[in-house]
Amino acid sequence: MLKGRSLLEPMDFTTSELEELFQLADKIIECPQKYTKACEGKLMATLFYEPSTRTRFSFEAAMLRLGGQVIGFSEPNSSSVAKGESISDTIRTVACYVDLAVMRHPKEGAPKVAHLSTDMPVINAGDGGHQHPTQTLTDLLTIKKEKGHFDNLTVGLCGDLKFGRTVHSLIKALSRYNNIKFILISPEELRLPNYVIKEVLIKNNIEFKEVQKMEEVIHDLDILYMTRVQRERFFNEEDYIRLKDRYILDLEKMRLAREDMIVLHPLPRVNEIAVEVDSDPRALYFKQAKYGMFIRMALIMSVLGVTC
Ligand code: NCD
């Protein structure tokens, strides 16, 4: 039962709870008109202390499409945060008015602080370079719909594996399935953090290798997960400029990949995927963004305990 639960990181839900969410998302995709009143009378707050397009809009669209309503901010300076209010006080106040809160924050652990301060469900919509569990739900639903299963996949993750929170969450979530292999493609400076390597990959005996050249491994992949270099988490602009265009997926590289490989990206894209790749049938990132709304509809219904 997911009713009343918070989602702070992917492991908060078991694989069978995830399966329930995927099944509900499937039903919603098949017949969205059946759900237009599912959350009537419910209110969700979106507390976004960092920029967002897909995550906030897909959450808000999800709630509105379920017949619920939304309040919130996307510019923390317009709220009492600007007066120095703590996360704990903000969430306790917001909980007086709404049934569910979705929070994005630059500080790792901020949504957890919010969760510990209230009984209301809190959803982590990205905390610094740490976790982004609802992007992972989106990624998993896309994989399930497009590949049909999670077992026996070779997944290439490319770009900023150090600061990319979507990568950290996806690796954690996929580590629970059978015979998953990861190929980690990044420059030395943007390697996957040691804590993820030790606590997730080595601890669970998962096969992985770290490489610097995409061309060498692209043919082996079932999934290529591209990421943006996370400019906002760099200490200096020169390093960002030096690293930002290290990987650019173009049609020439796509020719080296298998016909059934799929390309995912949490978006926003900067330069790491050439626009010419968009029309390749293996490029699924905009479809992935759409799945994101459906899985968030399923998540909202489940944590609010509404059925239909
Ligand atoms: C990601 C994020 O915010 O971490 N975006 C998203 O939510 N779809 C990826 C990114 O910003 O690069």
Tokens representing residue 111 in the block:
């949504």
CB 135 less than 6 A from any atom of ligand 1: yes
The range of the structural domain enclosing residue 21 comes to 10-131+292-304
Q: Is residue 5 part of a domain?
A: no
Shared domain check, 53 and 177: no
**How far are the Cα atoms of 39, 249, 273 from residue 276, in angstroms, in the given order?**
40, 9, 8
pLDDT at 78: 82
Q: Is residue 4 part of a domain?
A: no
Shared domain check, 178 and 104: no
**Of residues 75 and 11, more confidently modeled:** 11
Q: Are 96 and 118 in contact (CB under 8 A)?
A: no
Q: Is residue 138 part of a domain?
A: yes
Cα separation, 235 vs 103, in Å, equals 24
Q: Are 118 and 147 in contact (CB under 8 A)?
A: no
pTM here? 0.97
Q: What is the Cβ-side half-sphere exposure of residue 101, based on CA atoms within 13 angstroms?
A: 31
Shared domain check, 126 and 240: no
pLDDT band per the 50, 70, 90 thresholds, residue 235:
confident
Would you say residue 82 has pLDDT above 90?
no
Shared domain check, 211 and 146: yes
Shared domain check, 207 and 72: no
Kindly tell me the sign of the dihedral angle through the C-alpha atoms of 282, 291, 126, 150: negative
Q: Are 140 and 207 in contact (CB under 8 A)?
A: no
Q: How far is the CA of 102 from the centre of ligand 1 (A)?
A: 15
Shared domain check, 153 and 96: no
Q: Is residue 3 part of a domain?
A: no
CB 142 less than 6 A from any atom of ligand 1: no
**To test the ligand 1 pocket, which listed residue (53, 267, 291) has its Cβ within 8 A of the most ligand atoms?**
267
Cα separation, 264 vs 267, in Å, equals 9
Q: What is the pLDDT of residues 128-159, one digit of tens each?
A: 999 999 999 999 999 999 999 999 999 999 99
Shared domain check, 142 and 109: no
- Length of the chain measured in residues: 308
Supply the mean pLDDT for the chain.
97
Shared domain check, 91 and 54: yes
